[in-house]
């Protein structure tokens, strides 16, 4: 019995699709097209999702990885684990902002000195830090860290007056903050403020 044309076409298309799935990775491999995909379990809340990402990053021991391709691959998977926090919990306002900050810092190469980042990407990251701070005006740590990291990026670009302005603002606003983490950030900003001043001489 002759198969109906529609059924035959469907079976042919299904076989072709299966062959394509097997074939595409072969000719795309090594062409920069394939990005590693993270298998990230969905947690009950943003806090658990964020802690999972932090623990996963700790377990990868990025500082021990010598091969640049492997480092890039591992960083991409880590980036995706943090990205899942705000994808799964977009309205949460404690750990979701922290996850966004982690991703922005990775995109700007702020998490690893061995990562080369283009000037365009550095400028883009500065803009993303400003936006993040604007999205969470009530979150003091996010405000302080975004400002501090803007200073670091301006310093990387050789824009020392802009870097000093950022570091000084962190010192002026947060040096007396009762929270240790924020006060420590202000102390570090004071160090970079002085160091940047020396570099300008």
What local confidence, expressed as pLDDT, does residue 7 receive?
Answer: 42
Would the pLDDT of 87 be above 50? yes
Range of the structural domain that residue 136 is part of: 118-201
147 & 94 share domain: no
The angle formed by the CA atoms of residues 67, 128 and 61, to the nearest 5 degrees, is: 25
Burial degree of 113 (CB within 10 A; 0-12, 13-18, 19+): exposed
58 & 130 share domain: no
Top pLDDT among 21 and 173 is at: 173
Out of 53, 82, 116, pick the residue that ends a domain.
116
Instruction: Provide the pLDDT confidence category of residue 3 given band limits of 50, 70 and 90.
Output: very low
| Average pLDDT of the segment spanning 160-172 | 97
Segment 191-200, tens digit of pLDDT: 999 987 655 5
Cα–Cα distance, 181 to 191 (Å, whole number): 16
Out of 116, 141, 164, pick the residue that ends a domain.
116
88 & 157 share domain: no
Segment 50-67, tens digit of pLDDT: 999 999 999 999 988 888
Top pLDDT among 33 and 124 is at: 124
- Whether 18 is in a domain gets the answer no
- Whether 51 is in a domain gets the answer yes
Instruction: Provide the pLDDT confidence category of residue 114 given band limits of 50, 70 and 90.
Output: confident
Q: Could you give the number of structural domains in the chain? A: 2
What local confidence, expressed as pLDDT, does residue 197 receive?
Answer: 60
Would the pLDDT of 38 be above 90? no
Q: How confident is the prediction for the chain on average, in pLDDT? A: 84
91 & 165 share domain: no
24-42: buried (b, 16+ CB within 10 Å) or exposed (e) per residue? eeeeeeeeeeeeeebebee
What local confidence, expressed as pLDDT, does residue 10 receive?
Answer: 39
Out of 116, 133, 158, pick the residue that ends a domain.
116
- Whether 169 is in a domain gets the answer yes
Contact of 60 with 78, CB cutoff 8 Å = yes
45 & 112 share domain: yes
| Average pLDDT of the segment spanning 100-112 | 95
Provide the whole-model pTM: 0.79
111 & 122 share domain: no
- Whether 97 is in a domain gets the answer yes
- Whether 7 is in a domain gets the answer no
- For residue 4, report the phi and psi dihedrals to the nearest 5 degrees: -55, 145
130 & 58 share domain: no
46 & 81 share domain: yes
105 & 145 share domain: no
Q: Which of 59-68, 123-132, 167-176 has the lowest mean pLDDT?
A: 59-68
């Amino acid at each position: 019995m002759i198969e109906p044309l529609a059924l035959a076409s469907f079976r042919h298309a299904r076989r072709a699709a299966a062959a394509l799935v097997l074939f595409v990775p072969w000719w795309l491999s090594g062409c920069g097209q394939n990005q590693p995909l993270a298998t990230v379990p969905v947690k009950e809340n943003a806090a658990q999702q964020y802690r999972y990402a932090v623990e996963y990053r700790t377990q990868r021991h990025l500082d021990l990885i010598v091969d640049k391709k492997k480092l890039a691959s591992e960083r991409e998977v880590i980036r995706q684990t943090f990205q899942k926090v705000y994808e799964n919990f977009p309205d949460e306002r404690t750990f979701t902002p922290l996850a966004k900050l982690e991703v922005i810092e990775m995109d700007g190469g702020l998490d690893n000195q061995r990562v080369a980042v283009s000037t365009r990407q550095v400028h883009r990251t500065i803009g993303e830090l400003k936006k993040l701070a604007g999205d969470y005006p009530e979150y003091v740590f996010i405000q302080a860290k975004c400002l501090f990291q803007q200073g670091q990026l301006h310093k990387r670009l050789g824009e020392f007056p802009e870097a000093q302005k950022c570091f000084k603002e962190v010192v002026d606003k947060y040096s007396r903050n009762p929270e240790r983490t924020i006060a420590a950030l202000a102390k570090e900003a004071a160090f970079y403020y002085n160091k940047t001043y020396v570099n300008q001489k």
